[in-house]
Amino acid sequence: MIHLFALLLYNAAFLLWLRTLLGGGRGRDAPPAWATAAGVAAHVVAFSAYAAEFRELPLVGLGPSLSMLALLVTIGLLGAVVVREGERVGIVLLPLAIILQAIALAVGIRPSGTDPDFQGGWFILHAGLGLAGVVGIALAGASGGLYLAQFRELKARRMGRLFYFLPPLATLDRLGRVGSHVGFVFLTVSLALGWAWTVRFRGTFGQEDVEMWWGLFSWLAVLTAILTRAARGGTPERRAALANSVAFLLVVAGYVVLRVTAHPEAGFL
């Protein structure tokens, strides 16, 4: 029930942004930001109840993981408030969080009954950092997409509602840079921890684990996006914006492909 309430608040925040966008692009940033914050608070309460009831963190199983990812996406969005008009990337990140939370609610946010190995501190760090890394990539991808949209408005010499709604190019570039670096660092640590764990306790490199391949693929995607900034041709900002949005789309596409093709017993999220 509280999860549903959080979903409703995320929807309300998104609708407020949408109203601002359709109403000419200008408007107060506080109401949607507060609605998001209220959604995050409700979500945290829901997870606290989950942890108290099931004595485990919501990191294992499809429902809990997707819901946790939705929570981290909205927390990342609240973090964007620190830069000028940064919270407006919510126009992309809130629908993502809404979809994740809706799927989580549809499949059920309950323990998967998996191996107790997946409940230790080691695993919590690995999974938590992995999800946070994906959030970093999502933030970078959303900022990159909006950068390209604002760039297009400016080149087209029009000051429509999108122009007024979208944050400055410099803000979007900064968010993209922070997102991709956070994504890279967290994913690196998460992958290293996951590998160390499988080598130590299972005696393998985890090559049979589909999640490991997705994690590695995501890590390479974000690394490429970061390196693209340093390449030649055009401004680094625009190059990075394009690379970040492509990296995010690849990470999502990789997940969908693996999810669809993985054997049901592989237990892929």
Partner 1 sequence: MTPALVGLSHRTAPVEVRERLAFPGDEAAHALSGLHDAGVEQVVLLTTCNRTELYFESGEEETFARAVDFLERAAGALPEPLPNYLYRHSGDSVALHLFRVVSGLDSMVPGEAEVQGQVREAYQRAAGSDPAMTGAVLNRLFQTALSVGGRVRSETAIGEGSASVASVAVELARKIFGDLRDRRVLVLGAGETAERMVASLGREGVQGVMVANRTYDRAVDLAERLHGRAVRMEEITRALADADIVLTSTSAPHFLVTASNLTAAYPAGVTSPLLMVDIAIPRDIDPELGGVADVFLYNVDDLQRILDESLDRRRVAAVDAESLIAREVEGFALWHRSLAVVPAIRALREHGERVRAREVARLIERMPHLSGADRDAVEAFSRRLLNQLLHEPTARLRRAAEEGRGEEALAAVRHWGEGHDLA
Q: How far is the CB of 232 from partner 1 (least distance, A)?
A: 7
Four-residue CA torsion sign, 19, 21, 25, 29: positive
CB-CB contact of 88 with 17 (8 Å): yes
Q: Which is nearer to partner 1, 142 or 242 (CB)?
A: 242
Q: How far is the CB of 26 from partner 1 (least distance, A)?
A: 5
Q: Which is nearer to partner 1, 163 or 255 (CB)?
A: 163
Q: How far is the CB of 78 from partner 1 (least distance, A)?
A: 20
Q: How far is the CB of 88 from partner 1 (least distance, A)?
A: 12
Q: How far is the CB of 157 from partner 1 (least distance, A)?
A: 5
- Cα separation, 205 vs 197, whole angstroms: 9
Q: How far is the CB of 36 from partner 1 (least distance, A)?
A: 21
Q: Which residues lie closer than 8 Å to 107 by C-beta, 6 or more apart?
A: 62, 63, 66
Q: Which is nearer to partner 1, 108 or 160 (CB)?
A: 160
Tokens representing 64? 């809990």
- Cα separation, 144 vs 136, whole angstroms: 12
Q: Which is nearer to partner 1, 23 or 120 (CB)?
A: 23
Q: How far is the CB of 161 from partner 1 (least distance, A)?
A: 10
Q: Which is nearer to partner 1, 146 or 187 (CB)?
A: 146
φ/ψ bin of 234: left (φ > 0), alpha (ψ from -120 to 50), beta (otherwise): left
> Whose CA is closest to 140, among 241, 22, 55?
241
Q: What is the per-residue burial (b if ≥16 Cβ within 10 Å, else e) of 169-180?
A: bebbbbbbbbbb
Q: Which is nearer to partner 1, 1 or 230 (CB)?
A: 230
What is the separation, in whole angstroms, between the first and last Cα of the chain? 23
Q: Which is nearer to partner 1, 222 or 242 (CB)?
A: 242
List C-alpha distances in Å: 189 to 37, 93, 115, 262: 28, 24, 23, 25
Q: Which is nearer to partner 1, 24 or 108 (CB)?
A: 24
Residue type, 253: A
- The DSSP output letter for 200 is I
Residues engaged in binding partner 1 (CB under 8 A):
23-24, 26, 28, 84, 150, 154-155, 157-159, 163-164, 166-171, 174, 232-238
Three-state DSSP class for residue 137: helix
Q: How far is the CB of 151 from partner 1 (least distance, A)?
A: 9
